[in-house]
Structure 1
Amino acid sequence: MSTGSDGVLRLPDAAIPEGCRSWDGEAARRWTGALPSRWVPVRAHPAMFVALPLVTVAGAGLLGEYGVLPAWGAALAVLPFVWMVLRPEAARILAPVAVGVVLAYGEESPLRSLALGSAVVLAWALSLARVTARGPQRAAALVASGGVTAVLPSAVAGRLERGRFLFGAGLLLTAAGGVVGAATGVWEDPGDRAGAPAAGWCLAGLGLTVLLAAALTRHRAAGLRGAPVPVLRVLVRESAEVETEVFAADDEGAVRPLFTVATRVVDGGGDGEDAFGDERVGPLREAVLFGVPYDGAEVVLLTAAERAGEPPVVEVGVGAVRPVTEWTLRRRGAAARGKAQSEAREEERRVAAADQVRRETGTDALPAGRWRAGWPDWFTGLLALAYAAVLAGDAGWWRLISGFGLTLVAALVLPRRLAWRVTADREGLWFNGLRRARQLPWDEIRTVRTKAGELRVDGEGTSFGEWTVHTPRWAWLEHRIGLVHPYERTAAEITAMWRDPQLRPTELSTPARRGRAVWPLGVLIAAAGAAAVLFLP
């Protein structure tokens, strides 16, 4: 591997299949021109993979509870909205069936049924547009390859991993949905007896959707391992979101990514240097793309290593191809401009906090090498308690689902937010945690920063990783009243110690000073929350 005069890390000639064509800008524009319109949801935010299924389960339960549709019909009516975003192949076939069910069984609530049916038709149309656009995408990529094919690198041989996790998750969701749907006699309220089975049917439908996703991804990944597949020369780099961005071979400025795909190195390696989410992109590298790229496709990449002198790296997809649309590019541009403005304001606040620390401490060692949760963190706990009080007014199946869900989240999240502690001694920083305290030596600190409501410390070694805490924050109010947020002050004091050894404590900290493990607080929160859900009226 070598670095070209253009700054791109190049593959050795021997690693490139004979006759492999470059996917140049003109051919790439034909491919992007085949993408569906911007109003078709091609790229889903990662949060949608969790939020959308939860919303659909709740929606199915409400449709069943209010008698809009029978339990199984309520589930079928909301699932097309999940399929539209996450698995459009299913919506293309089953969404028309859902429309028929809504119109046939929604006679008691005609207006609601009409509105719901119209929404399902829209979801079906969007899914159909997305699936239909895949044909022209495949055709454009095949033309660009010129019919040149090659077998996958030998490192890919072996057991096929794609789809295994999805298969297990799908079975679990399907079984859980069956249990919930069958437990009709548990509920005393008539609304609950209709709502809970609808939620169960929907959960089972989500499980079957995941099983379909497992089968499709495994089938497409296995298709790459048979006969030789089309190949293209491209440029790639790792994005700040730890995805692989693919560019045209002549886009040496990395101006217009064509698509992204989540990948992993075949040998499971990687130096882990950028594993801490420091929002830096990787270097631009030459690569050979194996497979026909289109929305939802499976591909394999043979890329130049990120360090000069190392052999090429084989990366297999752990996710499907996700095209980058023009709307996505405009959204990224707006987000980048907003991020730059936000970072400038954050830097002003950080400098102000650091100046205040220097005025108070001078050149002497800081009076206390320990920082702990304060009023912003306790305010977060009060917000969670207020939200729990609002949910306490619910009844029936929704109270149980929301109550136990909130209890689980609170037991896992609140202990660290309410009882975090950072202790400095002459060797480094100690951070308490759920099970034990962790140490980060001074010379292994990578970054100390605040961003919005986050306080973050990154380490260089893979043994530590990162430490973060979060809290709600209103920067404009802090600036208006001249308040230095405790997170800003903590970051400034830690940074002062990190950069100036004379400010560090001269003694070692004791285990008691480093703070106790916070898991007992989590157990207490879980027990109190479960008792409140089960026994409070």
Structure 2
Amino acid sequence: MSETPVPIPSGSVPAGTPAWSSADAARWTEAGPASWTRPVWSVPTLLITVIWAIAVEPVPRCSDAAPCGPDWSSMVQVGLAVGLLHWLARLPELTLVAAPALAAMVAWGELPGADPMSRAANLAVIAALLFGWAAARERLAARSRQQRLAGQAAGVRHRLPEPVGPLTRGGLPLAAGLVLGAVAAGAVVSGLNGIRAYEHHAARAKHIAAKVTGRGEETVRVRTDDGRPLTVGALYPEDYSLGSTVTVLEDDSWRRLAAEPYDAFGPQLLVLAAGLPALSLLTVGVLARRRAGALRRAPVPVLRALTLTDHEGRNWVYAADDTAGRTPLFTCRCSVPLPDSDKKANRTGHDDDGGNEEELPFVETRLHEAVVFGAPYDSGELVLVTTDRAGHPITLHSGGPVRIPRTGRKPLLGSPATTDTGSDSPRPR
């Protein structure tokens, strides 16, 4: 990339817009999150400690004195632990809430009365949660630092250039999250209805003492005191030894072991399967919509920089004086906004169908001058004004969050199969 960057017409550059120098960009990069906050440390730490805690936790046996039943607290703990494996990597905002909540539930629900090995494992889980919370807090603090430094480097603020286009960011995640949230809510209602139905039968049922005579895969065969043989469903038939006495609840044709009330495992599993993605999608949608809306509400910092589009469709941004493209600052996927609100645009910046496609300039691995609207930071939103292959000004909106590339990562520039040097026409994305 030793060629001179494609210039941007002066009329597309707001008055007083400064160049983002390599020195200012280096300070911006140094203000990023520390290496210890990377998910590669916090996610495996939590995963290992949770597996350890589950492996050493004693499994109580079902009995009339201590019947098994739906455990909503454990379901919430499992859900938060599974969710945090994703939120630690992508949603530090949720981590700040979920990690302390799970740590408190483990401290109050698992530590009292635990044996030494289980206590050590649960303390390790709490330590991993605190480490993940600290990492998430540092990542959010780094975003604030980068926003501040970018604003100081800019010094001036301007409103977004036309066409701004409709505010569509976050719409699809919000819609999907609401649908999945409704499914999760329905699963909760189903589980509660099952519990109420069991309590209704149990209140009317006769309590019959019986002796265990045999066990199946999911049943227990018993003989009552009056000599009747019965087969009763059991989730844990191995808990009942042959010859032991159990209590059978009988309400007409309805029978159940008193040691095993209604188990809402199915509805609880559906709650986790739908509720966790729903919570993640709703958070992503709200954050994306809020960040995209913030660009439109007031003037934002503007900086001159350099950009190129690689063969993966990503825009890479460099300091204005880094004409060799040695040090990429951040990357994002961008799309051209459609000014007419009646034109259908996908909520995430992709096409709905082949008839109404958003278009991007064809992949151009040459550096172009650009103007960055908005203070960039990891997971932020921004607008780029740059040029196409013919040198005409275009406005690009981030179709996804800004990402800071790992050290040493470079744009993919060596895919000749996707390069068309003989055409200046735009390519549909």
Residue identity opposite 1:168 in structure 2: A
| Matched residue, 2:381 | 298
Structure number, greater radius of gyration: 2
Measure, in 1, the Cα distance between the counterparts of 2:142 and 2:2.
38
Output one character per residue of 1:119-147: Cα deviation in whole Å (capped at 9) or x when no partner. 2222212111111111211111011102x
Structure 1's 226 and 12: CA in aligned 2 closer, same or farther, altered over 3 A? same
Distance 2:58 2:177 in 1: 26
User: Can you list the C-alpha shifts for 1:210-249, whole angstroms capped at 9, x where unaligned?
Assistant: 2122112111111111221110001111133321111111
Q: Is the Cα contact below 8 Å between 1:233 and 1:286 reproduced in 2?
A: yes
- 1:80-120 residue CA offsets vs partner (Å, 9 max, x unmatched): 33221111012123311210111111245434422322222
Match of 1:323, SS state, is coil
Matched to 1:322, the amino acid is R
Give the whole-Å Cα distance in 1 for the aligned partners of 2:122 and 2:82. 12
**C-alpha distance in structure 1 between counterparts of 2:140 and 2:268, whole Å:** 29
| Cα distance in 2 between the residues matched to 1:221 and 1:317 | 9
* Long gaps (5+) in structure 2: 61-70, 196-217, 219-233, 237-259, 339-356
Corresponding residue for 2:158? 150
Is 1:261 paired with 2:343?
Answer: no
C-alpha contact (below 8 Å) 1:167/1:214 kept by paired residues: yes
Identify the residue that residue 443 of structure 1 maps to in structure 2: none
**TM-score, structure 2 as length reference:** 0.64
2:126 corresponds in structure 1 to 117
* Equivalent pair of 1:34/1:137 in contact (CA under 8 Å): yes
**Displacement after TM superposition at 1:27 (Å):** 0.3
Candidates 161, 174, 180, aligned match of 2:181:
174
Q: Choose which of 276, 286, 290 in structure 2 pairs with 1:219.
A: 290
Partner of 1:457: none
SS, match of residue 155 in structure 1 = coil
Alignment CA distance shift 1:210-1:78 (3 Å): same
Tell me how far 1:295 sits from its aligned partner.
Answer: 1.7
Paired amino acid for 1:308: A
What is the match of residue 232 of structure 1?
A: 303
Letter matched to residue 34 of structure 2: S
Distance in 2 (CA, whole Å) between partners of 1:323 and 1:43 is: 15
Deviation (angstroms), 1:78: 3.3
Q: TM-score, normalised by structure 1?
A: 0.52
Of residues 362, 375, 398, the one that matches 1:317 is 398
- The answer on whether the counterparts of 1:96 and 1:121 sit within 8 Å (CA) in structure 2 is yes
Over 3 Å counting, the alpha-carbon distance change for 1:199 and 1:256 in structure 2 is farther
**How many Å apart are 1:298 and its aligned residue?**
1.1
Aligned pairs, how many? Answer: 315
Tell me the CA shift for residue 23 of structure 1.
Answer: 0.5
Deviation of 1:43 (Å): 10
The CA distance in 2 between the partners of 1:139 and 1:32, in whole Å, is: 12
Post-superposition offset of 1:293: 0.9
Which is bigger in relative contact order (C-alpha 8 A, separation at least 6)? 2
Q: Residue 169 of structure 2 is aligned with which of 162, 173, 192?
A: 162
| Preserved CA contact (<8 Å) 1:76 1:202 | no
| Structure 1 unmatched ranges of 5 or more | 49-54, 275-280, 344-445, 449-459, 466-537
SS for the counterpart of 2:325 is: coil
Q: Distance in 2 between matches of 1:224 and 1:101?
A: 39
Are 2:89 and 1:85 equivalent residues in the alignment?
Answer: yes
Partner SS for 2:296: coil
CA distance in 1, matches of 2:386, 2:160: 13
Counterpart-to-counterpart distance in 2, 1:130 and 1:155: 33
Q: Contact 1:261 / 1:321 at 8 angstroms: preserved in 2? A: yes
Q: Using the alignment, how far apart are the partners of 2:106 and 2:303 within structure 1?
A: 46
CA distance in 2, matches of 1:181, 1:260: 41
Residues 1:144 and 1:27: Cα distance change in structure 2 (over 3 Å) = same
Structure 1 residues 198 and 73: alpha-carbon distance in aligned structure 2, compared to 1, 3 A threshold: farther
1:39 aligned counterpart, secondary structure: helix
SS of the aligned residue for 1:262 comes to strand
Change (3 A) 1:18 1:65: farther
In 1, the alpha carbon distance for the partners of 2:323 and 2:160 equals 26
Q: Offset at 1:65? A: 12
Q: Could you tell me how far apart the structure 1 residues matched to 2:407 and 2:107 are?
A: 39
Deviation at 1:205, TM superposition (A): 3.5
> Match of 2:308, SS?
strand
Residue 206 (structure 1) shift: 3.2
Structure 1 or 2: more helix by fraction: 1
What letter matches 1:321 in structure 2?
V
1:173 Cα deviation from its structure 2 partner = 2.5
Cα offset for 1:40? 2.0
Quickly say closer, same or farther: Cα 1:173–1:122, change in 2 above 3 A: farther
% identity of equivalent residues: 31
